[in-house]
A and B are shown apart, each in its own frame.
Chain A
Amino acid sequence: MDYAWLAPVLPIGAFALNVLIWRQMGARKHALSALTTLAAIGGAFLVFLAVFSDASSHLEGTATSSGLHLIFEDTPWFTVGVSPHLYVFAPTLVVDWLSIMMLGVVTFLAFLIEFYATGYMKGDNRYWWFFSVKALFTAAMLGVVLSYNFLLMYICWELVGLCSFLLIGFWYSERANAEAAKKAFITTRVGDVGFFIGLALLFIKTGTFDMKATFAAVESGAIDPATVTIAGILIFLGAMGKSGQFPLHVWLPDAMAGPTPVSALVHSATMVAAGVYLVGRSYPVFHASSTTMGVITTVGTITAIFGATIALTQRDIKRILAYSTISQLGYMIMALGVGAYTAGLFHLFTHAFFKALLFLGAGSVIHSMEPVLSGTGRNPNDIFNMGGLRKQMPVTFWTFLLASLSLAGIAPLAGFWSKDAILVGAYEADAWLPLFVALLTAFLTAFYMFRCIYLVFFGPAKWQVATAAGDHHDSHSTDHVKGRHAVPHESPWTMSLPLVLICVPAIAAGWIGIPGFSAGFAETVRFGPVIEEHINLVLAGAGTLAGVLGIGLATLMYLTPVSGPRLISESFPAAYKTLYNKYYVDEMYQWIIDHVVLAIAAMAATVDRKILNDRIVDWCGPFLQGAGARLRLTTSGYIYHYAFGFIIGIMAIGVVMSGGIPDMRFALW
């Protein structure tokens, strides 16, 4: 298993090759970069397979913990200090079932999404750059997954942030995209400040960033509980930033500004998963403090319901999915908070597949809507501009439907099993409020997903109206000929093939966690002793019922002639507006930035220039000039003035030299 380090290194090599060599190859650089990236990520997937088979036979767990294999534990990167205060920084990697699971998810999804992107990004003049950054992105995420040293994890963590910045701002010509990229980086960075402070607190207690030593110190009580609690909450702050937990979620919907394959990767397996993964990986630190666990539960619960309610009213298909992601991440965090370790990570596992599928499906829809709506000035992402697409895009429709059912938690799809595991976990932890919120969220999730499906794939084809209107408006312009009679059509096979392939895990990924059928997940990815899971029929029924109710309500409102949506939005305008405007969190932050941060900065700048600089520093000049102006009056130009001073001085020296005043002589010598 020592070769696991190849998994992140292969994509890094691909990045270097793309940027340093293929870039110089003229027009061929695009194809070469895409091929190199695909090959590298494919190679990483093969590494995963090899590690997996190795681990199945060699990685022996104990009663209280699953098996653990460390790499580079004794290879220092750099050292500081002198013995006995010698601080060694080693790039330790870990192979255990948690990292193997994530390794598989990331490489599998990244490969298929890259493949999808070869079709989706066709014709972009920075095609090569897209694939280069994607390679780096994958490498950084694999680094997060494999690292068993907080410092190494933080490094990869930051690189993930950088790559998301570059990818979200990929189409930088739009000012809004650039702003979204900046927002993503800075918001996660705010969380990272907390993360780093937490790490530093642990470091000054243990003298190392090594997770093994840190966890041992936490468990043995070598670190005082208060520090563990504070450090835990601060580290969780980092996870909140990356995983889009309330109130640091604001970057996530805006991150839709990137190309859809980026959204798919960011929202399924890589960036947002990193936060949940961090919580899973550092679980000993959190688990040691009930306060920390409470905070995690609270944040997760709020985020789950918060994201779901906002998703109800959004019009942009990608934003609906983005808020859905926020909500589902809240779900996972909540599960981890109540102590359902396996359930939370299980949901991370299954969610990655069906959410990637949803995004790729959405990308497929947008890809086909763009030529139709181009030139009409209407947003190709707006679900109210779509409709009836199931006939034009059957593959996309069926895969999207399947993924939605999985997300809604309908048996026997993947989402059902993981969602059920979370409900059971909350129930067993006696966490009634989270349990209730989880059920409510399940209901809302089913509702907004089917609202989306009905508006996109069923009903009247509003894009025809749109194009007609566009024709009418722009009858004189000639630059949208393409869109005039265009009809949405199914995406090329490079895009639809990944959709079909991801369907397999979206259906079946949950089965490895079916209690009694295959206990693989519960035995391997666990914290503490193996918990024998059993199915709770009441909870399973309630969860499914919530999903079915949500679907039913959506069907009632959007598929039948009842004009429900309009009725509701008009009866509760305030509630509708609040939800549509995402609880005004963005506006609040904007207000804080405008009126607090920038105001303080402007004030400080004024103080610096006007007071510190102009009043104090520059005052030195006039002061010396003034002093000089007064002093120069003594140069009167009269010899007798000078001579008088001269003689007095001579006399003073004479007095001193002759010892006239004994004390003065003492003072001088």
Chain B
Amino acid sequence: MGYLSTITLAPFIAALIIMLIPSQRPGLIRAVALVASVISFVLSLLVFAGYDWHRAGFQFREAYQWLPDYGITISLGVDGISAPMIILNAVVLLTGTIVSFKIADRPKEFYALLLVSVAGVFGAFAALDLFILFLTYDIAGLPMYPLIVIWGSTRKNYAALKLTLMHVAGSVFIWVGMIAIYVQAGAKSFDLEYLASQAHSLLTPGFQIIFFPVIFIGFGFLAAMWPLHTWSPDGHGAAPTAVSMVAAGVLMKLGAYGCIRVGVWLLPEGAMVWSPVFVTLGTIGAVYGGVMAIAQRDFKFVIAHSSVSHMGYVIVGISTMSLVGLNGAVLQMVSHGLMTALFFAMIGAMYDQAHTREVGIFGGLARNMPWYTGFFTIACLASLGLPGLSGFIPELLIFLGAFQTYPIVGILCVATVALAATYMLRLVSRAFFGPLSQRWASLHDLLPNEWFVGAFLVLTLIIVGVYPTPFLDMINASAAPVIERVGGVR
């Protein structure tokens, strides 16, 4: 057992153990979930620490035979693009577990499903085999349905169905693309490195031009690429806190990760040809999400639309085909995962007390909820790209990358930052400033577990914002070979 397989299996085994615990013992269930998430978190820290930051290629490799006849191997490993994702996922898992302690309705099933989903995400980030990647990708997405339907709020049935159907629709695209790549590359192996080595031989340019959009659209569903984003507001709005954190924090990243790993890496020629199209879609998403967020009245909807906007940046960063932009895109995935986790943890804490998420009816909460105000404001500031918090450097790099290849796109994206300031400060100003109405005077500040989650995530936001160097070093070393395949570094 290596690090990566332990990280992946710990939540999964914990889910199995939890299913065996009688539901009358919620404390034990929480303890098992916490232990598993701590194990994954500590091990991913070790992976991060033991990773050679300046070396390209995959590290921490493991391989186990599974179906040799079809060239399917359980092959794991991380490079500079997936290692930050692993640690992001571990952080979201840990905080999601802790923030869900208060769930009283069927905690057993909740934790089991949540852990299975997160185990799937770990597997997809660590997989070096296209088939395993796809398998774990679906494992990650499908538990969302029961999680939202059983523990969700508002239009939960509709939202859960929509999320699942759009996820599955994306899977269909990916499935088609995956089989096509497998067959075209000689039907010998699903190994990603083997497939990548065929990018300039068996995977002909004509093939790549046809199947790149198939792959990109397939993963674009989960990455909330415009116009495939419509599951995001409903899904995040209806999902319980920890599920929103996982869905927005890491599932969306999984989509973008697939776009890079399977799309750009395996099909570089196709990526070159389709770059203008997806840059356009990303830009539309960025602007559109920002404009939409201004008009929303529900906290979660504002955040969900801002996520569409931020994922638009990620799509832009990936599709600019510039090294600077790709660096920014990957770092933005980390940053956005952390900040949305913080957002949804905080919104959930509020919803548990106030039972509403209407922006307009709050006011003056800074008076009786200072910690809450502080954490939420920091999340907003990170989201609007304030320097010193995690959002700034990645957005800077994405914009510079965009300016290198598509200056107009760069201008539009930068303008979106002003929109971000508008909708984020509107939230802060509405909810926390102004006179404190009597109705909310009884709200109390964060509970200890929520405080811990908030403080922990704020700490990560500051660390990534002030000292992004290790992240950028490892991302840069692994992104450079990807970009070299698509027409060279600029």
Direct contact of A and B (CB under 8 A): yes
Residues of A bordering B, CB below 8 Å: 77-82, 85, 87, 151, 154-156, 158-159, 162, 165, 169, 172-175, 177-179, 181-182, 185-186, 189-190, 192-193, 196-197, 200-201, 203-204, 597-598, 600-602, 604-605, 608, 612-613, 616-617, 620
Please give me the residue from chain B that is nearest to A82 by CB atom: B480
Beta-carbon contact of A193 and B403 below 8 Å: no
| B186 located at the interface, meaning its Cβ lies under 8 Å from any Cβ of chain A in the complex | no
- Measured CB to CB, the closest approach of chain B to A196, in angstroms, equals 5
State in angstroms the CA–CA spacing of A355 and B313 once bound together. 43
Please give me the residue from chain A that is nearest to B367 by CB atom: A173
- Measured CB to CB, the closest approach of chain A to B153, in angstroms, equals 19
| B472 located at the interface, meaning its Cβ lies under 8 Å from any Cβ of chain A in the complex | yes
State in angstroms the CA–CA spacing of A361 and B58 once bound together. 66
State in angstroms the CA–CA spacing of A324 and B414 once bound together. 32
Instruction: Report the stretch among B27-35, B203-211, B428-436 that lies at the interface.
Output: B428-436
For residue B292, which residues in chain A have a CB less than 8 angstroms away from its CB?
Answer: 601, 604-605, 608
B366 partner, pick from A82, A159, A172, A613, beta carbons under 8 A: A172
* 30 A-B residue pairings within 8 Å (CB atoms): A78-B469, A80-B327, A80-B476, A81-B324, A155-B388, A158-B387, A159-B388, A172-B364, A172-B433, A173-B367, A174-B435, A175-B363, A179-B429, A181-B429, A192-B418, A193-B415, A197-B410, A197-B411, A200-B414, A203-B403, A204-B403, A597-B422, A598-B294, A604-B291, A604-B292, A605-B296, A608-B288, A608-B292, A616-B227, A617-B162
State in angstroms the CA–CA spacing of A402 and B414 once bound together. 45
- Per-residue CB contact flags for chain B residues 425-454 toward chain A (1 = under 8 Å, else 0) read 110110011111000000000000000000
| B489 located at the interface, meaning its Cβ lies under 8 Å from any Cβ of chain A in the complex | yes
Given A79-B472, A85-B489, A196-B399: A597 and B294 within 8 A (CB)?
A: yes
Beta-carbon contact of A178 and B414 below 8 Å: no
Main secondary structure of the interface of B (DSSP, over half): helix
Beta-carbon contact of B433 and A193 below 8 Å: no
For residue B490, which residues in chain A have a CB less than 8 angstroms away from its CB?
Answer: 85
B288 partner, pick from A78, A165, A174, A604, beta carbons under 8 A: A604
For residue A151, which residues in chain B have a CB less than 8 angstroms away from its CB?
Answer: 396
| B295 located at the interface, meaning its Cβ lies under 8 Å from any Cβ of chain A in the complex | yes
State in angstroms the CA–CA spacing of A156 and B436 once bound together. 33
Residues of B bordering A, CB below 8 Å: 162, 165-166, 227, 230, 288, 291-292, 294-296, 323-324, 327, 363-364, 366-367, 381, 386-388, 392-393, 396-397, 399-400, 403-404, 407, 410-411, 414-415, 417-418, 421-422, 425-426, 428-429, 432-436, 468-469, 472-473, 476, 480, 489-490
B469 partner, pick from A77, A175, A196, A200, beta carbons under 8 A: A77
For residue B399, which residues in chain A have a CB less than 8 angstroms away from its CB?
Answer: 196, 200
Q: Knowing that A79-B473, A85-B490 touch, tell me 4 more A-B residue pairs with CB under 8 angstroms.
A: A80-B324, A162-B386, A175-B433, A197-B414
Beta-carbon contact of A193 and B366 below 8 Å: no
Given A85-B489, A201-B403: A175 and B434 within 8 A (CB)?
A: yes
Beta-carbon contact of B230 and A601 below 8 Å: no
State in angstroms the CA–CA spacing of A600 and B422 once bound together. 14
Chain A to chain B: the 3 pairs with minimum beta-carbon distance, closest first: A178-B433, A155-B387, A172-B433
For residue A81, which residues in chain B have a CB less than 8 angstroms away from its CB?
Answer: 323-324, 476, 480, 489
State in angstroms the CA–CA spacing of A197 and B411 once bound together. 6
State in angstroms the CA–CA spacing of A197 and B407 once bound together. 9
State in angstroms the CA–CA spacing of A620 and B230 once bound together. 13
State in angstroms the CA–CA spacing of A571 and B296 once bound together. 48
State in angstroms the CA–CA spacing of A210 and B165 once bound together. 50
Beta-carbon contact of B387 and A159 below 8 Å: yes
- Measured CB to CB, the closest approach of chain B to A316, in angstroms, equals 21
State in angstroms the CA–CA spacing of A186 and B414 once bound together. 14
For residue B166, which residues in chain A have a CB less than 8 angstroms away from its CB?
Answer: 617
For residue B434, which residues in chain A have a CB less than 8 angstroms away from its CB?
Answer: 172-175, 178
Beta-carbon contact of A185 and B476 below 8 Å: no
Beta-carbon contact of A175 and B435 below 8 Å: yes
- Measured CB to CB, the closest approach of chain B to A190, in angstroms, equals 5
Given A185-B421, A605-B296: A613 and B230 within 8 A (CB)?
A: yes
- Measured CB to CB, the closest approach of chain A to B476, in angstroms, equals 6
A601 partner, pick from B294, B403, B410, B476, beta carbons under 8 A: B294
Interface centre among B292, B396, B415 (most CB of A within 10 A): B396
For residue A186, which residues in chain B have a CB less than 8 angstroms away from its CB?
Answer: 418, 421-422, 425
B418 partner, pick from A82, A87, A193, A602, beta carbons under 8 A: A193
For residue B230, which residues in chain A have a CB less than 8 angstroms away from its CB?
Answer: 608, 612-613, 617
Please give me the residue from chain B that is nearest to A593 by CB atom: B422
Beta-carbon contact of B381 and A162 below 8 Å: yes
For residue B422, which residues in chain A have a CB less than 8 angstroms away from its CB?
Answer: 186, 597
Beta-carbon contact of A158 and B386 below 8 Å: yes
Interface centre among B387, B407, B435, B480 (most CB of A within 10 A): B387
For residue B489, which residues in chain A have a CB less than 8 angstroms away from its CB?
Answer: 81-82, 85
Beta-carbon contact of A155 and B426 below 8 Å: no
Please give me the residue from chain A that is nearest to B328 by CB atom: A80
- Measured CB to CB, the closest approach of chain A to B169, in angstroms, equals 8
For residue B296, which residues in chain A have a CB less than 8 angstroms away from its CB?
Answer: 605
- Measured CB to CB, the closest approach of chain B to A236, in angstroms, equals 16
Given A80-B324, A175-B434, A182-B425: A190 and B364 within 8 A (CB)?
A: no
Given A82-B323, A85-B490, A186-B425: A203 and B433 within 8 A (CB)?
A: no
State in angstroms the CA–CA spacing of A201 and B414 once bound together. 12
- Measured CB to CB, the closest approach of chain A to B371, in angstroms, equals 11
- Measured CB to CB, the closest approach of chain A to B265, in angstroms, equals 17
For residue A159, which residues in chain B have a CB less than 8 angstroms away from its CB?
Answer: 386-388
Beta-carbon contact of A80 and B397 below 8 Å: yes
For residue B480, which residues in chain A have a CB less than 8 angstroms away from its CB?
Answer: 81-82
For residue A178, which residues in chain B have a CB less than 8 angstroms away from its CB?
Answer: 429, 433-434
Beta-carbon contact of B415 and A173 below 8 Å: no
State in angstroms the CA–CA spacing of A389 and B25 once bound together. 74
For residue A597, which residues in chain B have a CB less than 8 angstroms away from its CB?
Answer: 294, 422
For residue A197, which residues in chain B have a CB less than 8 angstroms away from its CB?
Answer: 410-411, 414
Beta-carbon contact of A193 and B414 below 8 Å: yes
Beta-carbon contact of B436 and A598 below 8 Å: no
For residue B396, which residues in chain A have a CB less than 8 angstroms away from its CB?
Answer: 151
Beta-carbon contact of A598 and B227 below 8 Å: no
Beta-carbon contact of B418 and A182 below 8 Å: no
For residue B387, which residues in chain A have a CB less than 8 angstroms away from its CB?
Answer: 154-156, 158-159
- Measured CB to CB, the closest approach of chain A to B91, in angstroms, equals 21
State in angstroms the CA–CA spacing of A79 and B324 once bound together. 10
Please give me the residue from chain A that is nearest to B469 by CB atom: A78
State in angstroms the CA–CA spacing of A178 and B422 once bound together. 13
State in angstroms the CA–CA spacing of A597 and B426 once bound together. 14
- Measured CB to CB, the closest approach of chain B to A431, in angstroms, equals 32
State in angstroms the CA–CA spacing of A185 and B403 once bound together. 25
Interface centre among A85, A156, A597 (most CB of B within 10 A): A85
State in angstroms the CA–CA spacing of A81 and B479 once bound together. 9
Beta-carbon contact of A601 and B291 below 8 Å: yes
Beta-carbon contact of B324 and A182 below 8 Å: no
- Measured CB to CB, the closest approach of chain B to A115, in angstroms, equals 27
- Measured CB to CB, the closest approach of chain A to B208, in angstroms, equals 24
Interface centre among A81, A158, A612 (most CB of B within 10 A): A81
Please give me the residue from chain B that is nearest to A191 by CB atom: B418
